[in-house]
Structure 1
Amino acid sequence: MAMVPRLDLRQSQALVMTPQLRQAIKLLQSSNLEVNAFVEEELERNPLLERDERSLPGPEAGHRVDPLPAQTEGQDSHAAASSDALPDAASGPLDAEWHNVYDNGASYESPYGRGGRADFADELSGVEDLAGTGLTLREHLGEQVRLTFRDPRDRLIGAQLVALVDGAGRLAITDEALAAAMGCEVERVAGVRSRMQRFDPVGMFCRDLRECLAVQLAEHNRLDPAMQALLDNLDLLARRDRLALLQVCGVDSEDLAEMIAELKRLDPKPGASFDAAPAPAVVPDVLMRRAPDFVESGAWILELNPETLPRVLVNRGFHARCQVGARNREDKAFLAEKLQSANWLLKSLEQRATTIIKVAQEIVRRQDGFFRHGVEHLRPLILRDVAEEVEMHESTVSRVTANKYIATPRGTFELKYFFTTAIAGTLGGESHSAEAVRHRIRSMIEAEDPEAVLSDDAIVERLRQEGVDIARRTVAKYRDALRIPSSVQRKREKAVPA
């Protein structure tokens, strides 16, 4: 069989992920902090980009979202979605193939800027809203060591104990090991540690929970033999074995209830609350408020949070001057590359903003009952439902709702919170949201009679009477997810009213 060269012509299709498309997809699924960090890097890297320092003429009017009519729920609401004044993307949907889109290199400016507050208030934050910087836990303990001990050796042992304590206030090293490491007597280390256990906060430098609680009870002169017996049998308390605790402690039910209530008032991790960092504030991407005619129309107003939108533009004058002074092909190629990169960045930012507000509008329209009446009226919703209405791919909707938050009159929620699975209704009735069912289970258990604790089977029966077709194992799974103990454990716990 002879081997000869041959020329063939073949035609095939392939999806090309251009750098511009990858950039647009990355920005779409990034949080507002990540987008701002990326824009800051581009401002340093691209000389044609600059931050727009101009003041905005006034707040944006936002986008009006009218509720779905009751008779059209479950039907096609594309006409209602298209009636809103949605800004069109300048370069088509993100699902398009960008490698065959012609770009004439024209400068492009983003219409969005910064300003305003996430809580819809007009007043600026005061100095009282700023978190103060206090002493750390180790600095606080170190000051007490210097004020308490005069002997240099005791101060050295105390400093070593401060260095070894963890964030909860526990010590993982024994007195014998520390004494051997420091070359001193065990009694001296034990004495220093015993005095330091009364430092503020009380209960530090203990090796376990029992010792920590005992120190705090001794500080309040409440460490009697019955309480000591209770501390020695914390495993029975964890199992809520009331009868065994009554026998071990030698007290009646009323005294046991008071002892357990006193234990609950103690701090099991005294060091954790002292050095706890403030919870990071969530800056919403979308702001939601009632329309001026809300009572009559029931409409909502949505707008992008200007604080999360980077405000950049292309310096066309600087580009023109550089283009005139370009002397060789490399300079012109560099300018063309930076101009195209700047234009694509601004287009991607506007496309991201447009897509976020478009998806948020459809979510608000679908979950109108939640915003009016609460979590009990949360409807089942999947990505496909929103994707069909906004004419996007499910993957695009998934990227839009990732790490994005909306500030509503009911609080700030992640957009993914509104996507819940459906639980079928009884006799072919309307399906229910899994989140709403979990909330209903919690409400039932919180309102149950201590003398008639609801079992999982009883919860299933009540839910089916309300039109929710749910299995017992599903109720048990939701109850475990809510960190609610079983009916047997709740019955033991409510038998001790502490």
Structure 2
Amino acid sequence: MSLGQRLEIRQGQGLVITPQLQQAIKLLQLSNLELEAVVEAELERNPLLQREDGDPVGDSHEADAPETPREDRGELELTDRDTAQANSDMDASSGDIYGDDEPTVREREPSSADMGDGPMVDWSRAGKSGGFDGDDETLERALKREKSLGEHLTDQALIAGFTPPEMAVAQILIDGVDEGGYLRADLSEIAERLGCDMALIERVLGVCQGFEPTGVMARSVPECLKLQLIERNRFDPAMEALIENLELLARRDLSALRKVCGVDDEDLTEMIRELKALTPRPGAAFGAEPSSGVVPDVFVRQDPSGGWRVDLNSDTLPRVLIDQKYHAKVSGSARSADEKTYLTECLNQANWLIKSLDQRARTILKVSSEIVRQQDGFFVYGVEYLRPLNLKTVAEAVGMHESTISRVTTNKYIATPRGVFELKFFFTSSINSSDGTSAHSAESVRHKIKSLIDGEKVSGEILSDDRIVEILNEAGVDIARRTVAKYREALRIPSSVERKRQSR
């Protein structure tokens, strides 16, 4: 075999992930708070950028340019004609980032035929270089930061085996916990807002009150102490009487306490010692860091015509523009090639940032509108009517890549008449139908399993997992025995053998 050198010419097509494209990808997955920090950094770095404050028609606008109300557009404003022209030039050279078409701001059922996307790129393979300054430092700070009480409770809720409706209730309950670990939310108001039974709220709360730290999510000091005593297996009638009469203990009325609890001096002293060893503020261990409320990125409102109106939250959209007067002034005084190159780079970066912000807003609106259309039953009837939905379904409907949908729905929140939810909340798993009809949501199948087992008290027949599979198959649900067992365990229901033993 001989070795030699030769020249070959090959022609091929490939997608180059430029630093600007990486910037647009990063902007898409940022939350509104992270986006604000990035824009602030760009405003400090780029002298040609300025924030649009107050009147949207600034000095850089044409005097006769018509103004469209910001709340009617529901999207970021491109406020400069020169900027728009520069954006069109960039489109011709690099192509669109997320999609070419603009969605209607208030749309009921967006047409998938009009929502073309750019190249089907797997954004998850995008490199880490060319990003914003300080990304590594931000990641390091995030890793070092201690979890808040809400995050700690959410992590436990994710592995508690909740169904999607139960998880929605659990998240709302967790949002109502104060820094001391007490639940301050009104359960009846939550049940009315979510359109579900009070029994569901109380069942989820009962599970959440078993989370760590012990005593968390109690609604009062006696209930907090009761949860801790139950965990220590020390909640007896005498101790129950003691915590129900804490005002007597506060007044040091020991004789009244002895009478109420039915114990002697020695037992009462021991009970008080045990009570002092408990934690009246279980959430205090996570610090007193003030919790900031979630600012929704999208609003969903009932439309008078009977549909749903989807609007972007304009308060979360940074409005920046190019200072054309300053650019004309400094470009006229630039003499050296380095100065002209620097100004050109600043102008291109400013144009690209404005374009990226605008397309980010349009993409969020497009995806949110499709999610609202898919989950219409939830908004009308309540949490029990969540449909099975995945990223692929939404991606095909809006003409985007699944990874783009994943980025859009990360750390983005939607305010609905039933509460504020993360966009990822609306994606639930599905179970195929045995008769070829539409799939069943995993939540509805869990509900059917629970209903069958609850009905054992009436019929007197203890159903095995195999028997439950047969019943579900007859009802058109294609499900395996191991899936039934998994759902049953997630619902904290014992096996048929254990249920038979309990019934005896």
TM-score, length-normalised on structure 1?
Answer: 0.56
Give, in angstroms, the shift of residue 350 of structure 1.
0.8
Paired AA for residue 370 in structure 2: E
Match of 1:22 in 2: 22
Match of 1:384 in 2: 392
Select the structure of larger CA radius of gyration: 1
- SS of the equivalent of 1:392 reads coil
Distance 2:424 2:412 in 1: 8
Pair 1:384–1:266, CA change in 2 (3 A)? farther
Pair 1:47–1:212, CA change in 2 (3 A)? farther
Pair 1:438–1:305, CA change in 2 (3 A)? farther
Give, in angstroms, the shift of residue 169 of structure 1.
9.4
Paired AA for residue 473 in structure 1: R
Distance 1:10 1:346 in 2: 37
The correspondence for 2:343, drawn from 319, 335, 341, is 335
Cα contact 2:214–2:231 (8 A) shared by 1: no
Aligned residue pair count: 346
2:299 matches 1:291: no
- SS of the equivalent of 1:351 reads helix
Cα contact 2:300–2:417 (8 A) shared by 1: yes
- SS of the equivalent of 1:60 reads helix
Partner deviation per Cα, 1:143-162 (whole Å, 9 max, x = no partner): xxxxxxxxxxxxxxxxxxxx
Match of 1:106 in 2: none
Match of 1:408 in 2: 416
Match of 1:42 in 2: 42
2:424 matches 1:424: no
Paired AA for residue 322 in structure 1: V
Match of 1:480 in 2: 489
Give, in angstroms, the shift of residue 415 of structure 1.
2.1
- Pairing of 1:71-86 with structure 2 (within 5 A): 80-81=111-112
Distance 1:411 1:267 in 2: 38
Distance 1:202 1:383 in 2: 41
The correspondence for 2:442, drawn from 427, 434, 438, is 434
- SS of the equivalent of 1:435 reads helix
2:374 matches 1:362: no
Cα contact 2:28–2:360 (8 A) shared by 1: yes
Distance 1:493 1:306 in 2: 58
Pair 1:61–1:4, CA change in 2 (3 A)? closer
Partner deviation per Cα, 1:175-206 (whole Å, 9 max, x = no partner): xxxxxxxxxxxxxxxxxxxxxxxx999979x9
Distance 2:398 2:6 in 1: 50
Cα contact 1:366–1:379 (8 A) shared by 2: yes
Pair 1:385–1:202, CA change in 2 (3 A)? closer
- SS of the equivalent of 1:427 reads coil
Pair 1:415–1:48, CA change in 2 (3 A)? same
Give, in angstroms, the shift of residue 444 of structure 1.
6.2
Match of 1:468 in 2: 477
Give, in angstroms, the shift of residue 469 of structure 1.
2.6
Structure 1 residues without counterparts, runs of 5 or longer:
68-77, 98-130, 137-166, 171-198, 232-262
Partner deviation per Cα, 1:23-53 (whole Å, 9 max, x = no partner): 1111112222221221122122222222111
CA RMSD of aligned residues (A): 4.8
The correspondence for 1:282, drawn from 289, 294, 312, is 294
Pair 1:58–1:270, CA change in 2 (3 A)? same
- SS of the equivalent of 2:415 reads strand
Cα contact 1:450–1:491 (8 A) shared by 2: no
Cα contact 1:423–1:431 (8 A) shared by 2: yes
- SS of the equivalent of 2:281 reads helix
2:362 matches 1:350: no
Cα contact 2:298–2:312 (8 A) shared by 1: yes
Paired AA for residue 480 in structure 1: E
Distance 2:402 2:500 in 1: 46
Match of 1:270 in 2: 280
- Pairing of 1:1-400 with structure 2 (within 5 A): 6-55=6-55, 57=69, 59-60=71-72, 63-66=105-108, 80-81=111-112, 93=118, 95=120, 210=232, 219-220=242-243, 222=261, 269-273=279-283, 280-294=292-306, 299-400=307-408
Distance 1:93 1:53 in 2: 33
Pair 1:451–1:5, CA change in 2 (3 A)? closer
Cα contact 1:423–1:434 (8 A) shared by 2: yes
- SS of the equivalent of 2:72 reads coil
Pair 1:208–1:392, CA change in 2 (3 A)? closer
Cα contact 1:323–1:335 (8 A) shared by 2: yes
Distance 2:277 2:436 in 1: 51
Paired AA for residue 321 in structure 2: L
Paired AA for residue 19 in structure 2: P
Give, in angstroms, the shift of residue 309 of structure 1.
1.2
Deviation larger for 318-327 or 381-390? 381-390
Structure 2 residues without counterparts, runs of 5 or longer:
57-68, 75-104, 123-175, 182-211, 216-220, 244-256
- SS of the equivalent of 1:289 reads strand
Paired AA for residue 485 in structure 2: A
- SS of the equivalent of 1:59 reads helix
Cα contact 2:462–2:499 (8 A) shared by 1: no
Pair 1:366–1:201, CA change in 2 (3 A)? closer
Give, in angstroms, the shift of residue 452 of structure 1.
5.6
Distance 2:277 2:419 in 1: 30
Give, in angstroms, the shift of residue 386 of structure 1.
2.1
Pair 1:334–1:441, CA change in 2 (3 A)? farther
Distance 1:409 1:482 in 2: 28
Partner deviation per Cα, 1:321-368 (whole Å, 9 max, x = no partner): 111122322221111111111111111111111111111222222222
- SS of the equivalent of 2:414 reads strand
Cα contact 1:380–1:422 (8 A) shared by 2: yes
Pair 1:474–1:266, CA change in 2 (3 A)? farther
Pair 1:338–1:440, CA change in 2 (3 A)? farther
Distance 1:494 1:312 in 2: 69
Pair 1:469–1:47, CA change in 2 (3 A)? same
Give, in angstroms, the shift of residue 224 of structure 1.
5.8
Pair 1:448–1:269, CA change in 2 (3 A)? farther
Match of 1:185 in 2: none
Pair 1:269–1:485, CA change in 2 (3 A)? farther
- SS of the equivalent of 1:47 reads coil
- SS of the equivalent of 2:361 reads helix
Distance 1:325 1:385 in 2: 55
